[in-house]
Amino acid sequence: MSSGHDSSNKCPLIGLLAVKNLLISKAELEKGLSACAGSKDPEADLKAYFLSNEMISTKNMDRLARMAKTLEIRRKEILFGSMAVRLGFINQSVADLALEEQEEDIKSQKRPIRIGDMMVISGFMTERQRDYILKLQKRERREISLPQETPVPDPGKEKESVKKEDGKKSLPETLLEPEIITGGIKLQVSGDMMAAFLTKTPEFNEDVTVGEIKDALFEREIVFGLVKDDLIQGFINSSGFKTQSFRVARGIKPVEGKDAKIEFFFNTDYLQAGGLDSEGNIDFKQRGDVPHVEEGTVLAEKTPCVEARHGQNIYGNQVATETGTNHPLKFGKGAKLSEDGLKVLAAVTGFPKYSLSGNVYVHQEYTTGGDVDYETGHIDYDGNVNVKGCIKSGFQVKGNDIQSIELDGGKVEADGNLTVTGGIVEGKVYAKGDVNAKFVRKSEIVCMGNVIVSKEIVDSTIICSGSLILENGKIISSVATAKMGVFARHVGSETASPCRIKVGHDAFVERELKKINVQIDEIKGKIKDCNNKKEVMLQENKELQLEITRLAHIQDRSQLEQEEIGGKIASLEGKSGLGNTIEELRQQMDELKKNADTAEKDLDNCFDRTESVENGIEVLEKKIKELEDLEEEKKLEKKNLIQWTKENKSNPVVRVEGALQPGTHIQGSQSEIKVKNLIRHARIAETKEDGAGGGIYQMQVVNF
């Protein structure tokens, strides 16, 4: 256990910590050690030396003392584990595990349990074995109270002064088990390890010193937040504190972080076409006008997150707390950030939109004078589109919210809603909002919102995450999948082929998620290709740098050799019989100049190539960053889509106000039914009946 050197030759830990924390220099420490040479108590004398020479303040000296004590306690625990392994009581893995568990307790603000006690509690060691090692370490065996699970209220913001008899503070209701320390003083620690209290017992010794009390606290690892020495002296001198407590140490409470909040000042739910009541009946209220904002309008405002601040308990351990999550303000075309960075403003006059990826846009509107045909060509506009005519066969319109008089054989892709005043005939529609039309024939509609048709749907395919609604209309010879149910006056006809209806299933989101996954994979592939190209360029640049170094070396060496040969020529000129020698030297000089010129040209070429390669690397890095941002956007879109579909629960119900024709096939999430007879005024919903094996699902028909 001993190092074999006299204790006087050892550097006290407090000195090493002072150097490590830049309070003194190494030379100043050596000077202090020299001044304290031969001391019986080198640590005390070294502290006195630093204080008397005003090299370290009293406050910093106390901090160093606490740090030294904490490190010494931890060192003893590690040594305990090593001795237990050497004596064969436990193996190394058990010792490591116990030390890790003790460290975790410290991080999670629990009062650490000595690893010897852990071993006894876990059955890895007997009490006798534990006490034997403690005796070898000359450490006192004492009970360590475990912290209680219920947090203790803050004892209060009591002033750090000795109070008068009538102003003493009572102990908190919940404390750890009391312990008698030096001088007949009772010590109690709060359950959250944020405060320590002293109370005088009948055996209190008035001759006890401040140093003895602090040493007793240090022995129990209480090293942080101690009150000043004069206050402890006041506790000793006071005639009170026999029934009231004196707070001798207080930790720093952590400040819990708060998440950033974003408030939107326009309707961000573009799928609100109409709600469902508790019976599953649709509310056919209109959404009203699409919001319209002027330039400069505040669209969203952010309340910044509150940064968490970790605390520290009286044992010097960090008390962690939950950090606040920052939510960035995201915006796209038509929107801008305010000067303080806390608001999103409309940059143009238009229609605000909130996307699945969390961006705020303001869309302006593009209006056609008539049909979309050969005269206009396809329309792809990053905003709203208003077609004052028909979208003809073979032509496509892309935009946010799209309006049209008719859709006749054309194709529409809307990031928002599609509203057709007339009908959709032989059209193909994709929309992330609602689709409204008078009638639909021989068409395909895929949308995230509701499909609302006033008259009829014939020979068509409908897929939507919302509801399929025909309040006064009918569905004939069509296939429909609607997560939120189908509501119609009539389904089927006597002469047409039967309808197939699926409710409670979100086919749109399934398709979208597959599409997004494909897009993410494609983006990852592009990122990989760019990184591979970047690696090739980096290697090329590395080789060019080596070549530049080689060529520069040739130039430098040539310059030196030319100077050397020039000197020789100068020294030989004018001397007889040395003409051949001088000529040879001049030839060498010409050869060196030629090599240097070649190196110069090669060097210029290398610099040009290096510049080109570095520009290429810069372009690739920019491209990689753009692709990584796009990948994050797609991942966020996927996350929000999954969240949206979870929050919008399915409604496997079909409600028919008029006639439901035989042959209609209705499928829910877990069951299905084929209508055999004509049914009127019916509600068909999937229900679950409890039974063996977790229950039975069935489509239940209820007439009303």
Give the domain-ending residue among 581, 613, 640.
640
For residue 197, what pLDDT is reported? Answer: 93
Cα→Cα distances 330→353, 358, 404, 540, 626, Å: 12, 6, 31, 39, 16
Which residues, in sequence order, are bridge partners of residue 464?
Answer: 447, 482
Indicate the range of 135-144, 171-180, 446-455, 502-511 predicted with least confidence.
135-144
Is residue 186 in a domain?
A: yes
Residue 625 shares a structural domain with residue 556: yes
Residues 575 and 528 in one domain: yes
Altogether, the residues listed in the chain come to a count of: 704
Mean pLDDT computed over 201-226: 89
Last residue of a domain, one of 583, 608, 640: 640
Residues 423 and 542 in one domain: no
Q: Which of 235, 250, 265 is the last residue of a domain?
A: 250
pLDDT of residue 674: 93
Task: Look at residue 404 and tell me whether its pLDDT is greater than 90.
Answer: yes
Asked if the structure places residue 405 within a domain, the reply is yes
pLDDT at 402 over 50: yes
Q: At residue 615, what are phi and psi to the nearest 5 degrees?
A: -65, -40
Residue 141 lies in a domain: no
Q: Is residue 617 part of a domain?
A: yes
* Contact criterion met (CB below 8 Å) for 230 and 208: no
* 248 touches 314 (CB < 8 A): no
* Angle at the Cα of 450 from the Cα atoms of 401 and 264, rounded to 5 degrees: 55
- Whole-prediction pTM value? 0.57
CB atoms within 10 A of CB 463: 24
Tokens read off for 317: 């351990």
Which band of pLDDT confidence, cut at 50, 70 and 90, is reported for residue 152? very low
Note whether 518 and 614 are same-domain residues.
yes
Reading the block at residue 454, the tokens are 């006033």
Co-location of 123 and 212 in the same domain = no
Domain co-membership, 544 together with 628 = yes
| Per-residue pLDDT band at 146 (split at 50, 70, 90) | very low
- pLDDT tens, position by position, 331-365: 988 999 998 889 999 999 888 888 877 888 898 88
Categorize the per-residue pLDDT at 141 as very low, low, confident or very high, splitting at 50, 70 and 90: low
For residue 695, the model assigns a pLDDT of 66
The tally of domains found in the chain comes to 4
- Looking at residue 32, what is its pLDDT? 85
Same domain for 109 and 180, yes or no, is: no
Pick from 183-187, 189-193, 210-214, 456-460: least confident: 189-193
Quick check: helix, strand or coil at residue 454? strand
Tens-digit pLDDT profile for residues 594-608: 888 888 888 889 888
Q: Percentage of the chain with pLDDT > 70?
A: 88
Is residue 371 within 8 Å of residue 393, measured between CB atoms? no
CATH number where 566 lies: 1.10.287
Is 190 among the domain residues?
A: yes
Rounded distance, CA 481 to CA 462, Å?
6
Range of the domain at 425: 377-438
Residue 289 lies in a domain: no
What is the Cα–Cα distance from 681 to 485, expressed in whole angstroms? 16
Residue 67 counted as domain residue: yes
Statement to judge: residues 113 and 199 lie in one domain:
no
- State the helix-helix crossing angle for 92-107 and 115-122, rounded to 10 degrees: 120
Average pLDDT estimate for 220-241 = 87
- Domain match, 191 and 119 both: no
**293 and 351 in contact (C-beta within 8 Å)?**
yes
Q: Based on the fold, state whether residues 82 and 192 are members of the same structural domain.
A: no
Statement to judge: residues 542 and 620 lie in one domain:
yes
Residue 84 lies in a domain: yes
Q: Do both 525 and 614 map to the same domain? A: yes
